[in-house]
Structure 1
Amino acid sequence: MSLCYAGPKPLISSHGIEFDHNKEDKFVYLSFVAELIHALDHEYIDGERYITITEKKPLDPDTIFSLINTYDSALDQKISDRIKKVEEEIATQIEHAHSNRLLCDEEHQVLVKNIEFLHQYRIQRAINKTVYYSGIKSLAHIIQKGHIDYIIAPMFPIFVHVFHSIQGALTKLSPPINSEIDIYEENEHLKVQLNLKKI
């Protein structure tokens, strides 16, 4: 098992394979998630403002996995469970492809081959997604433990996506933490800020 980029969500049919570029592989967000974990998990002094400079290039996949795995002892099992579920989904799709009466023999063959061709691709996306949400859940707990009031980042789509995921995880905590995302300009640069408040 290793982390690596797979690609956007595949749309498989008897006519070919297309990709939904609105459903990007979670791998692209993992470096920022890992950097946030590293930046936020420390002791806090009231009134202090903490600034961290992010890496200029994405973290190494092994470093990302090792860091997130440190915070989730059940991560390997979660990955195994997710892989098993995807394997079952693929087997079911192949079975349905064979029994689809609306397709001719050639279309059956094409559909089955397309499903089989993307087998490992879909497994890798599932691994990346599992690690991503494990990291997001860890971030929510770090924010809760540190009583963090806000997090600011440059206004890039990757950061906004991760902040939205964190928002979802924060609402599942006990007690839940309410949050909002603000976008503003500072020194001619757009910033995104995740503001946190206990419900």
Structure 2
Amino acid sequence: MTLEYAGPKPLISAHGIEFDHNKEDKFVYLSIAAELIQALDHEYIEDKSYTCLTGDKPITPEIIFALIRRYDPQLDREIEERQTLVEAEIASQIKHAHENRLLCEEERQVLINNIELLRAYRIQRSINKTVYYSAIETLARIIHKGHIEHITAPMYPKFFHVFHSVQGALTKLHPPVDSTIDIYTEDKHLSVQLKIRV
């Protein structure tokens, strides 16, 4: 199992393969999630603010994988379970393609070939997604444990996406943790802030 970029969500049909660029591969957010884990997981002194400058180059996929495995000992099992689900979904789609009488034989074969062609691609996306959500759950636990009140970052779409995911994970904690995301301008720079109601 490795982490690597696969690509946006594929839309497979008997007429070809298209990609939904609104459903990006979670791999693109993993470096940010890993940097946030590294930046936030430490002891905190009450009423003290902390600043962390992220690295100028992304963390390697191998380091990201090792980091998240450290926080989630069940990660490999979770990946295997997700991979089994994707394999079952692919098998079901191939079965339905064989049985589809609305398509001619040639179209059925094209559909089956397209599904098979993207098997490894879809499995890689599922690995990336599983690791991403494990990182997000780790971030939510770190925030909760550290009684972190807010996290501020430059307003880049990737930071916003990660903050939004963390916000969702915070609501799934027991008890749920409420939070908001604010976008604001400070010193002529757009920033995004995840505010946690502790």
**Counterpart of 2:17 in 1: which secondary structure?**
strand
> Structure 1 residue 4 and structure 2 residue 1: aligned?
no
**Counterpart of 2:153 in 1: which secondary structure?**
strand
What is the CA distance between 1:67 and its match in structure 2? 0.5
The residue type equivalent to 2:167 in the other structure is: Q
Q: Which residue of 1 aligns with 2:47?
A: 47
Mapping of residues 80-119 of structure 1, within 5 Å: 80-119=80-119
Q: Which residue of 2 aligns with 1:125?
A: 125
Q: Which residue of 1 aligns with 2:194?
A: 194
What is the CA distance between 1:168 and its match in structure 2? 0.5
In structure 2, runs of 5+ residues without a counterpart are: none
Per-residue CA deviations over 1:16-56 (Å, capped at 9, x if unaligned) read 00000000000000000000000000000011110011111
**Counterpart of 1:177 in 2: which secondary structure?**
coil
The residue type equivalent to 2:99 in the other structure is: S
The residue type equivalent to 1:172 in the other structure is: K
Per-residue CA deviations over 1:117-158 (Å, capped at 9, x if unaligned) read 000000000000000000000000000000000000000000
What is the CA distance between 1:58 and its match in structure 2? 1.3
**Counterpart of 1:184 in 2: which secondary structure?**
strand
What is the CA distance between 1:188 and its match in structure 2? 1.0
Q: Which residue of 1 aligns with 2:163?
A: 163
- Work out the CA distance in 1 between the residues paired with 2:113 and 2:58: 34
> Structure 1 residue 78 and structure 2 residue 78: aligned?
yes
Say how many residue pairs are matched: 198
Q: Which residue of 2 aligns with 1:18?
A: 18
| TM-score, length-scaled by structure 1 | 0.99
Q: Which residue of 1 aligns with 2:28?
A: 28
What is the CA distance between 1:186 and its match in structure 2? 1.1
What is the CA distance between 1:175 and its match in structure 2? 1.4
- Work out the CA distance in 2 between the residues paired with 1:136 and 1:187: 30
- Work out the CA distance in 2 between the residues paired with 1:57 and 1:11: 32
- Work out the CA distance in 2 between the residues paired with 1:147 and 1:173: 14
- Work out the CA distance in 1 between the residues paired with 2:140 and 2:14: 42
Q: Return 180-189 or 21-30, whichever deviates more.
A: 180-189
- Work out the CA distance in 2 between the residues paired with 1:58 and 1:85: 30
Q: Which residue of 2 aligns with 1:142?
A: 142
- Work out the CA distance in 1 between the residues paired with 2:144 and 2:194: 14
Runs of 4+, deviation exceeding 2 Å: none
| TM-score, length-scaled by structure 2 | 0.99
Per-residue CA deviations over 1:142-198 (Å, capped at 9, x if unaligned) read 000000000000000000000000000000111111000011111111000000004
The residue type equivalent to 1:137 in the other structure is: E
RMSD over equivalenced CA pairs, Å:
0.5
Identity over the aligned pairs, expressed in percent?
Answer: 66
- Work out the CA distance in 1 between the residues paired with 2:74 and 2:143: 20
**Counterpart of 2:193 in 1: which secondary structure?**
strand
- Work out the CA distance in 2 between the residues paired with 1:56 and 1:99: 52
- Work out the CA distance in 1 between the residues paired with 2:111 and 2:55: 42
